Structure 1
Amino acid sequence: MSHRDTKRLATRRPALLLAAIALLSTACAGAQTTMPHENVRHEGTWLQWPHSYTYGSTYRDRIESTWIEMTRSLVSGEKVHIVAYSASEQERIQNLLAEADIPLTNVTFVVQPTDDVWVRDNGPVFVYGPDHAMAIQSWGFNGWGGKQPYHLSAEVPAVVARELNMSKVDLSNYVVEGGAVETDGRGTFLATRSSILNPNRNPDVTEDQMDAVLAANLGVSNFIWLDGVRNADITDMHIDGFARFATSDTIATMSPADLNDWGLSSTDIQRLYAAKDANGTPYKFVQFPLTENNVVTSYGKDLGYKGSYVNFYVGNSVVLMPTYNDANDAVAKAALQRVFPDRVVVGIDVRNLYANGGMIHCVTQQQPEGSF
C-alpha cells in the first residue's frame, strides 16, 4: 500500500442487476450465514509475507521483522498460515523463522503470488454457513479503489479455499475489504460509507442493496454507518483504524478529541458514541490514546501524523498491539490488557509498516476453529 497508482478496472453494473443479485444472495445464504467475532477460538491466523517483487527489497526488509514477531507471538496459541510468493520465498521464510528460533510445528505455507501484504483486505473471510459448516467468502478486491496493484492478491481467497477444501462463496460483484468491516458477532455491523459505498468500489450499489448483501452473508441486521472521509487515506478511512468491537458489548475507539484529530466529523463521533446493539442496548466504550508524537520510522522518516492503537489483533492466547516507540505505547498496552485479562498483550513495532498505510489488524486474518 505505498507508492504507485493503477487505473481502476471497474465495470459499471446496472442498478437493477445489482438489486437482483442482492436478492438472490439473500435467498441463497439467508440470515444463518454468520461471520463470528474475532474473539472466538481460532484454528489459526493467516499472514501474507512481505516480498520484493512489487516494491523492491528495501520495502520488504524494512517491514519483515514485524511478520517475524507476529509469528513468534502467535505460534504458541494457534497455527500460523503463511501465504508465500513462491516456493523459493517459502524456503527463505522458513530459514528466517529458524534463525529467529521460532518453531515451525504450527506454521503452514500456501504458495501464491501476491501484490502486497494486506491479507485483512484481500484475503479469505471465514463464515459459518446455513449448515453450520465453515465456508470462505471471496469479496471483490480492487486495490482500495484502483489505488494499488491488486490482481494477484485478489486470487488469495480462491487459493485458500482450494487448499483447505472448503466451499467458496463468490461475492466478487461487491468490493468490500476486511478492514472496512466490523461486526460484534451478534448481528451488528459497523463501517464507513466512504470505504464501501464509494464510486471507486461499488459505483452502482445503493446503501439498501449493500445492506441486503451484508445481511445475507455476514448475519447482520443492525447497521451503524458512519460517513467517514473519502481520500483521507488510501483506504478511504477504514473503520478498523479507529473503532473496533473489542468484545461483543464493547467498542474500542478514541476520545472525541482524538477522533476529530483522526478526521471524523462531529456527526460521526456522535453517531459512534450513540451506537446500540441489535437489541437496542448501548455499547460500553474503552478509549485508547493516539501516540503522543508523530510517528517516526526506524530509518528516521517523520510521517507527520500520529498512530492508532485501535488496530490490534485478538489471537487465542495473545493480543497483538501496534507500537510506535512512543510514550503512549505503555498507556495503550495497559488499557488493552484490562480489556483482555485472559490474554497477554504483546506490542509489535509497526512504525515502518505504518509508513505504508497500515498496522497489525490490516495484515492478519483469523480462521475460526471448526464449526459451531
Structure 2
Amino acid sequence: MITSRRQPAEWAPHDSVWIGWPSAADLWEDNLGPARAEVDDFVRGILFPGGDGSDIRGEKVNLVYRGGEARSAAEIMRGRLPDPSLLTLFEAPLGDIWLRDTGPVFAKSETGELVASAFRFNGWGGKYQLPSDDEIADKIAGHANVRLRRFDDFIGEGGAMEVDGEGTLITTRQCLLNKNRNPNMNEKDVEAVLKSALGIEKTIWLNEGLIGDHTDGHVDNIARFVAPGKVMCMRPTGDDDPNAEIFSDIEKTLKSATDAQGRKLEVVMVPSPGRIEIDDAPVAASHMNFYIANHSVVVPVYGVLSGDSAPGIEAIETLKSVIDRQYFVAVDSSHILSGGGSFHCISQQQPRM
C-alpha cells in the first residue's frame, strides 16, 4: 500500500548523513588528495563542530566509497578522528561522490515511517553518465532498511529540489523542464511527481541557475530555505560577477512568492563568492551549498581560488543570524568545486525517526 510522504526540512533532526568519498583517480586526477582533505574537514565540521576537543558529537556519518585504494585512504582519515566509531565506511557502486543527486531522498510517511524516493538519473542531462550511478539509491536505501519508491518516469536530482518541510519546494525551469531531462512534461506534470515523491503542495519556480553549472541550474546553489517562511539567496560580488542578472531575477521571484502555508517569503541576501574561474571559465562557486547538520552548519568557501575571504565571512555571519545552530564552520571547497559541486552536493541527510 502506497501512503503519502513528505521530505523534512534539512534543519529537522538527523539520524545520520551519507557522504560521498572521492574514489575515482581517473576523474579527480591531481585534485584527488586535496578533495579528500576537504571532505575530511567537512566530516569533522559535522562530527566535531566545536573542534576535536569538544564534547559535542554530531550526527553519525556514513562515508560511501568504491574500491580498495579509496577504502584505505578513508580508513586513514577515520583513524585520525577523536572518535572513529562515529564514522561508518560503506562500499557501494559509486560512480562519483554526488549523492545529493544519485542517492535516495529520505522522507517520512503519514504514519511516521522513514521511507525514501528516487528519480531516474541520466548524468545531468547526459553530460556525465557513469557506471552504477543508477544503482546507488537502491543500495543506500537497502542498507538504511527503508522502503524505496522509484519514480523512473521522471528525471531529476536532489540538488534540484529545495524544501521547507511544510509542503513548499523551490526549483528551476532550466533543470526540471530541460529538454535533456523531461522534454514531454510541463510545470503541472512535474508538480504532480513532486507531490507524490516529496509531499509538495506548492512549487516556486525560478528560471535559471548559475553560469558554468553543468547541472543546468540546481537550486541548492542559488536559493535555500533557512527557516519556515525564510529563504536565502545571493547578491553579486564585484563588478564582474557573471551571475548578476540571474541573482536579480531570483531575488525578484522569491520576494513575490508565498509558501504552501500562504506566508509571504522573507528573503535574506548574502554575497556571492564573486567571479571564480577554472581554466579561464566561470564556475558555479556558491555559498548556498552549505549543509545544515544537527549541531552545525558547514559552509563552503573558496579561498584557494578567489583569494578573497570577505564574502565568505559575511555569508557565515548572516547565516548565524537566521539558522538555529551552535556552530558555523567554514571549509574551503575549491578542489571539490573542480568536480562541479560542493558539500551539499555530496551529502544526503537521513532524518531521525
TM-score (norm 1): 0.83
Q: Does the aligned pair in 2 maintain the 1:256–1:269 contact within 8 Å?
A: no
Aligned pairs, how many?
337
Compare 141-150 and 130-139 and name the one that shifted more. 130-139
Q: Does the aligned pair in 2 maintain the 1:126–1:137 contact within 8 Å?
A: yes
Shift of 1:39: 0.4
Q: How does 1:52-91 map to 2 (within 5 A)?
A: 52-75=24-47, 76-91=57-72
Shift of 1:265: 7.5
Q: How does 1:141-220 map to 2 (within 5 A)?
A: 141-220=121-200
Q: Which residue of 2 aligns with 1:307?
A: 285
Q: How does 1:328-343 map to 2 (within 5 A)?
A: 328-343=311-326
Compare 145-154 and 49-58 and name the one that shifted more. 49-58
Q: Does the aligned pair in 1 maintain the 2:19–2:348 contact within 8 Å?
A: yes
1:106 counterpart = 2:86: yes
**Distance in 1 between the 2:248 and 2:87 partners?**
45
Q: Which residue of 2 aligns with 1:360?
A: 343
Shift of 1:53: 4.6
Q: Which residue of 2 aligns with 1:327?
A: 310
Q: How does 1:215-230 map to 2 (within 5 A)?
A: 215-228=195-208
Q: Which residue of 2 aligns with 1:24?
A: none
Q: Does the aligned pair in 2 maintain the 1:289–1:308 contact within 8 Å?
A: no
Q: Does the aligned pair in 1 maintain the 2:235–2:244 contact within 8 Å?
A: no
1:61-118 CA distances to partner (integer Å, 9 max, x unpaired)? Answer: 23111111111121221100011103553233111332x4443211112211222111
Q: Which residue of 2 aligns with 1:274?
A: 256
Shift of 1:149: 2.4
Q: Which has the higher strand share?
A: 2
Q: Does the aligned pair in 1 maintain the 2:209–2:222 contact within 8 Å?
A: no
Shift of 1:257: 8.4
1:282-331 CA distances to partner (integer Å, 9 max, x unpaired)? Answer: 1112111012x54378xxx6664583211111000110001112222211
Identity %: 29
Q: Does the aligned pair in 2 maintain the 1:77–1:315 contact within 8 Å?
A: yes
Shift of 1:208: 1.5
**Distance in 2 between the 1:84 and 1:260 partners?**
35
The correspondence for 2:23, drawn from 30, 51, 61, is 51
**Distance in 1 between the 2:234 and 2:223 partners?**
8
Compare 43-52 and 228-237 and name the one that shifted more. 228-237
**Distance in 2 between the 1:230 and 1:344 partners?**
28
- Aligned-pair RMSD on alpha carbons? 2.4
Q: 1:115 to 1:173 in 2, by over 3 A?
A: same
1:264-292 CA distances to partner (integer Å, 9 max, x unpaired)? Answer: 2855542222111113211112111012x
Structure 2's unaligned 5+ residue stretches are: 48-56, 304-308
Q: Does the aligned pair in 2 maintain the 1:36–1:185 contact within 8 Å?
A: yes
1:95 counterpart = 2:76: yes
AA of the residue aligned to 2:7: M
**Distance in 1 between the 2:288 and 2:187 partners?**
26
Compare 279-288 and 89-98 and name the one that shifted more. 89-98
Does the residue aligned with 2:8 lie in a helix, a strand or coil? coil
Q: 1:74 to 1:184 in 2, by over 3 A?
A: same
Q: Which residue of 1 aligns with 2:306?
A: none
Shift of 1:166: 1.5
Q: Does the aligned pair in 1 maintain the 2:17–2:349 contact within 8 Å?
A: yes
Compare 42-51 and 274-283 and name the one that shifted more. 274-283
AA of the residue aligned to 2:289: N
AA of the residue aligned to 1:314: I
Shift of 1:119: 0.9
Shift of 1:183: 1.1
**Distance in 2 between the 1:192 and 1:231 partners?**
13
**Distance in 1 between the 2:247 and 2:332 partners?**
29
Q: Does the aligned pair in 1 maintain the 2:177–2:187 contact within 8 Å?
A: yes
Q: Which residue of 2 aligns with 1:283?
A: 265
**Distance in 1 between the 2:16 and 2:291 partners?**
13
Shift of 1:50: 0.1
AA of the residue aligned to 2:339: N
**Distance in 2 between the 1:262 and 1:126 partners?**
34
Q: Does the aligned pair in 1 maintain the 2:235–2:247 contact within 8 Å?
A: no
**Distance in 1 between the 2:232 and 2:248 partners?**
18
The correspondence for 2:243, drawn from 244, 261, 265, is 261
**Distance in 2 between the 1:183 and 1:94 partners?**
34
Q: Which runs of 4 or more aligned residues in structure 1 lie more than 6 Å from their structure 2 counterparts after TM superposition?
A: 256-260
